[in-house]
Chain A
Amino acid sequence: MSKLSVLRGAALLFAALSPIAVFAQFQQPTDEELKMTSDPKSPGAAAVYLNIEEIANDPMHYQSYYARIKVLTEKGKELATVEIPYVKGNKRVTDVQGRTIHADGTVIPLSVKPEDLLNEKSGQTQFGRVVFTLPSVEVGSILEYSYELRYDDNEFSSPLWEIQRPYFVHSAHYQFTPFKAFMPNGTPDTSTSRYLEDEHGRVINSLMWWNRLPPGVTMKTSVNGSYSVDVTDIPPIPDEEWMPPIRSFLYRVFFYYMAASTPNEFWINEGKLWSKDVDKFAEPSNGIKAAVNGIVAPNDSDLDKAKKLYAAVQALDNTDYSRRKSESEMKQLKLKVAKHAEDTWTQKSGSSEDIAMLYLAMLRAAGLTAYATKVVDRDQATFDPSYMSIGQLDTTLVAVSIGGKEVVLDPGEKMCPFGTLSWRHSYASGIGQSAQGLSIVTTATQDYKENTIRRTGDLTLDAHGGMTGTFTIEMSGQAALRWRQAALRNDDDELKKMFDRDLDRIVPEGVEAHIDHFLALDQPDNLLLALVKVKGTLGTATAKRLLLPGFFFETRSHQPFVNEEKRMEPVDMHYGDRVTNVITYHLPAGLTVEGTPQDANISWPGHALFVTKAKAGAGEVAIADSLAVAFTMAKPEEYQDLRGFYQKVESAAQGALVLTTAATPAPAGNGN
């Protein structure tokens, strides 16, 4: 039997980046299509896809692509330029054809050869792209093109169908003919003397597919040995604020050849391989044990041991926050790529992954029960176990048992306090080791009380609205982590400029705010403080009154969701938090408080709370507000409640602080 390789990574790269696939013969447009100036199924669209067709044929080693697009506005003309990325070597783009059809039926064929351009070349790997631009494109034109992607006879490249696109799709047909042995049941003559093997050298024994399809659409099979999907009226990729990583929610189909038959079997096998690699790297060697003995004391509690070892690994050079050494540099310095935790400790440097595994090794060397957990980065994707690829998971966390309780730690996240996870790794799923073996795990969401920003200000006003003062901004949790990590990549001056740019977005018009200095920037277990100086002109002065914004911060920005009537996708707030502002205005003589923003207590039960309070005293007025968001995700069906809450917050935040000049007593007269 001869063996053939399965080419997956490059195919996924290609398919993930390429435009729609095509093969069908060019079609005569209908009068309706030619005359179309807008699409009632996609109001306001710059363009729509009339047809898409992708045909993948592994036995013949090609994929073909076809698209027909109607341009409706100037912006839609951008689709005239088609870029086809590919990995040079064993793939080539061939048979590019295209034409533009004007609204009056005039056909202008693509007569120039496509350009084969470079994206990037590094070492032996070269990413290129074939680019062509359809000619004479106008608003109202129909663009039509096709091309083929061919690969070597020994390669089998299962397709990725990106069904949902930036523009509406009227109809699309996708078809895949796999390697003979994996054609659908009922296909005649699927016997073959050849077999496939994956990158690990394992014999492929199944063809799997992962799909997310519109309601009512299913995968079909045919006796000619192919799988197919036909769809109509596919909405464009949503673009809403505060969405979860969108790629996880789009309509897509992945095919892949596997050395496993079911998702369960895959994760067991793949998990075992991963776990074995983890245990090998994190072996508590003699060198590790010696290092641990130098850090912890024998009578330290488990918690103290865990904290001391955490501090020790956090102190190492994390190259994801500094820089990775190049191959030539490693060679010259006689350093080696870390294959064991001891290498990372010896070199006092490593990637986030290396450092997490080192911490695991040290905990085990100290006699603690500790396991590795590999999760997805929630800023990039959500974990789907039905999609059989361990590549979805990219971060290693460490779970340690302390006092009978499991604590999950994030040692690879530089400056992350002990016991805290980066928000990207909280409420994130993946696989984890445990005493019972491997399992699918999900880390906990963050408590909003762990992520706080408190701004306390003292502002002195003059009679014309001129203002000077200072603020102290206290940060804990994710806000503090963000600035501490920024400090690793920038010097003090640059960091201050970045902070000032952030302040500029939230202080009122006419006010300048500049950070004076930070405190505890390099102490991740403490509150991070920023001392800010402000000056400027606040509010509007009239003859008798001074009108100031009721709430100093974020008067220029709007609350989220207020203007968005409907919601298609879930809401992802990243993490719960609480932001509190307490501003004390010191008034000049002659100004008194006429009105303050109304006290408010706006609640979305179990989810969020907005409270405001104002208190006027002699020569001063204090206004406090606090917005606590105690949830991470909200479903689309909860959206109206969510929106309602923020609308009330927006309305309450419009309240003004009104100061009045005291009446000037009339000068003593002669009695008239």
Chain B
Amino acid sequence: MPRRLNPTRLLVAGCCALLFGSAIAAARDKQEPVPQWGQDAAKTPTPDYARDSGSVILYDEYLETVDNQGRATEREREAIRILQPQGRHDECAIQYDVDEKISSFKEWTITAKGDVFQAKEADFSEVGDTSVPIMLSTRKARVVHPPAEDVGATIVCESEELLAPWDQEKIWDIQSGIPVVFEALELDLPPGCAYSESWHRFAPVKATEIAPSHWRWEIKDMPRLDLRDVKESPAWAALAARMSLTWGDGAVQGKDNEWRALGEWTTRLESDRPNPTPEITARAQELTAGATDFYTKLKKSPSTFRRMYATSSFRAALVGCRRTTQATFFAISMVTAKTRPRC
């Protein structure tokens, strides 16, 4: 039997829905204040060396927090001041892939007059990696298009991302196409966990242990690397300063130790490659039945196998090995990590 609703209840329900809906919309639209670090960064004066640049990074800080399994969460805080119209192209973005998760990404713009705008959902977009189609890259970037992005404005971005479980390295790109006034990297490790660092095109900066197992590196006044008018220059990556920070298995000190460690790790992964599975053995024996010497055995193999044999990676297959995919490499690496006490 159909129910007739009390009109008064209907009215009240309608009002509640309206208020509730308004509250949600209001909550969504409500502007959060610029975090204190952003406000402080925005007060940084523009240095003279940056005045011919389209924009300048006033502040850029990374915090890598590593858990007991060696998995890192990365927080970045960045403030960029736009100095020229062409500087509007320097936006904040965060890259991620299938094993990574962005837990937050916020942006504020502080105009030259001091007005504050916060980017809303409509100001964000996601872009895929379309640079090389054959790579089938699942990598994406979440990009913010800051509101009020005018000359004199400061863009303040803060993000947090859970990195891939196998990722135990941070490449700190300390030099970019625009100058950097202040930048810092912090590494927070579990007790007893080691790290190693290597520097490229920059004198190593000594870390400060600001808390147990928590280190911080700081760099000031990094000039930009502008190769646009440099003819026949080497690749950008060859010239730009950077620092590589590793923890976990890769954290060995000293260059020789690092290469030795890499070799040992690779050898461990490949150690059982020459061992054929019963299925491969059976098939190889079937194909080469009756052959008395190696050359005859090779001739008896199908042409595809002969071509494959020409490459070392498939030579092992012919004599009975598994082909190890990258995922397997990392799975082995992770398994190894779990079986030893490791950060």
From B127, B134, B138, A81 is in contact (CB under 8 Å) with B134
Is A325 located at the chain interface by the 8 A CB criterion? yes
Asked whether, in the complex, the Cβ of A491 is within 8 Å of the Cβ of B130, the reply is: no
Q: Which residues of A have CB within 8 Å of B120?
A: 327-328
Is B88 located at the chain interface by the 8 A CB criterion? yes
Binds B, one of A120-128, A474-482, A537-545, A605-613: A120-128
Q: Which residues of A have CB within 8 Å of B117?
A: 328-329, 332
Is B254 located at the chain interface by the 8 A CB criterion? no
User: Which A residue's beta carbon lies closest to that of B148?
Assistant: A329
User: Which B residue's beta carbon lies closest to that of A500?
Assistant: B229
Is A493 located at the chain interface by the 8 A CB criterion? yes
Interchain CA distance A118-B141 in the complex, whole Å: 10
Is B128 located at the chain interface by the 8 A CB criterion? yes
Q: Which residues of A have CB within 8 Å of B213?
A: none
Interchain CA distance A331-B85 in the complex, whole Å: 23
Known contacts A119-B128, A120-B127; is-contact A327 B122 (Cβ 8 Å): yes
Asked whether, in the complex, the Cβ of B86 is within 8 Å of the Cβ of A490, the reply is: yes
Asked whether, in the complex, the Cβ of B125 is within 8 Å of the Cβ of A121, the reply is: yes
Q: Which residues of B have CB within 8 Å of A500?
A: 229
Interface residue tally on A, bucketed by range: 35 or more
Interface residue tally on B, bucketed by range: 35 or more
Interchain CA distance A104-B302 in the complex, whole Å: 13
Asked whether, in the complex, the Cβ of A490 is within 8 Å of the Cβ of B85, the reply is: yes
Q: Which residues of B have CB within 8 Å of A329?
A: 117, 147-148
Interchain CA distance A327-B140 in the complex, whole Å: 24
User: Which A residue's beta carbon lies closest to that of B88?
Assistant: A323
Asked whether, in the complex, the Cβ of A323 is within 8 Å of the Cβ of B149, the reply is: yes
Q: Which residues of B have CB within 8 Å of A129?
A: 128, 130
Is A326 located at the chain interface by the 8 A CB criterion? yes
Q: Which residues of B have CB within 8 Å of A78?
A: 134
Is A489 located at the chain interface by the 8 A CB criterion? yes
Interchain CA distance A119-B126 in the complex, whole Å: 8
Asked whether, in the complex, the Cβ of B304 is within 8 Å of the Cβ of A491, the reply is: no
Is B212 located at the chain interface by the 8 A CB criterion? no
Interface residues of B in 96-127 (CB under 8 A from A): 117-123, 125-127
Is B54 located at the chain interface by the 8 A CB criterion? yes
Interface residues of A in 98-143 (CB under 8 A from B): 104, 106, 115, 117-123, 128-129, 131, 133
Asked whether, in the complex, the Cβ of B123 is within 8 Å of the Cβ of A117, the reply is: no
Interchain CA distance A389-B138 in the complex, whole Å: 36
Asked whether, in the complex, the Cβ of A332 is within 8 Å of the Cβ of B147, the reply is: yes
Produce 1/0 per residue, B128-148, CB < 8 A to A: 111001101110100001011
Interface residues of A in 77-98 (CB under 8 A from B): 78, 80-81, 83
Q: Which residues of A have CB within 8 Å of B160?
A: none
From A117, A322, A328, B147 is in contact (CB under 8 Å) with A328
Known contacts A489-B85, A489-B86; is-contact A326 B123 (Cβ 8 Å): yes
Asked whether, in the complex, the Cβ of A81 is within 8 Å of the Cβ of B133, the reply is: yes
From A120, A322, A489, B125 is in contact (CB under 8 Å) with A120
Is B150 located at the chain interface by the 8 A CB criterion? yes
From B54, B122, B125, A491 is in contact (CB under 8 Å) with B54
Q: How far is the CB of A621 from chain B (nearest CB, A)?
A: 32
Interchain CA distance A542-B121 in the complex, whole Å: 70
Is B264 located at the chain interface by the 8 A CB criterion? no
User: Which A residue's beta carbon lies closest to that of B128?
Assistant: A118
Is B196 located at the chain interface by the 8 A CB criterion? no
Is A3 located at the chain interface by the 8 A CB criterion? no
User: Which B residue's beta carbon lies closest to that of A124?
Assistant: B122
Is A497 located at the chain interface by the 8 A CB criterion? yes
From B54, B125, B149, A122 is in contact (CB under 8 Å) with B125
Q: How far is the CB of A326 from chain B (nearest CB, A)?
A: 5
Q: Which residues of B have CB within 8 Å of A488?
A: 85
User: Which A residue's beta carbon lies closest to that of B304?
Assistant: A106
Interchain CA distance A332-B123 in the complex, whole Å: 13
Asked whether, in the complex, the Cβ of B126 is within 8 Å of the Cβ of A118, the reply is: yes
Is B52 located at the chain interface by the 8 A CB criterion? yes
**11 additional A-B residue pairs with CB within 8 Å, beyond A118-B140, A123-B121:** A80-B134, A83-B133, A117-B138, A119-B128, A120-B126, A131-B133, A133-B134, A328-B147, A329-B147, A490-B86, A501-B229
B: residues with CB less than 8 A from A are 29, 31, 52, 54, 83-86, 88, 117-123, 125-130, 133-134, 136-138, 140, 145, 147-150, 228-229, 303-304
Q: Which 9 residue pairs spanning A and B have beta carbons closest together?
A: A118-B128, A329-B147, A491-B84, A122-B125, A328-B120, A121-B126, A81-B134, A326-B147, A115-B136
- What would be 18 A-B contacts, judged by CB atoms less than 8 Å apart? A81-B134, A106-B303, A106-B304, A118-B127, A118-B128, A119-B130, A120-B126, A121-B127, A123-B122, A128-B128, A327-B122, A328-B117, A328-B147, A490-B84, A497-B228, A497-B229, A500-B229, A501-B229
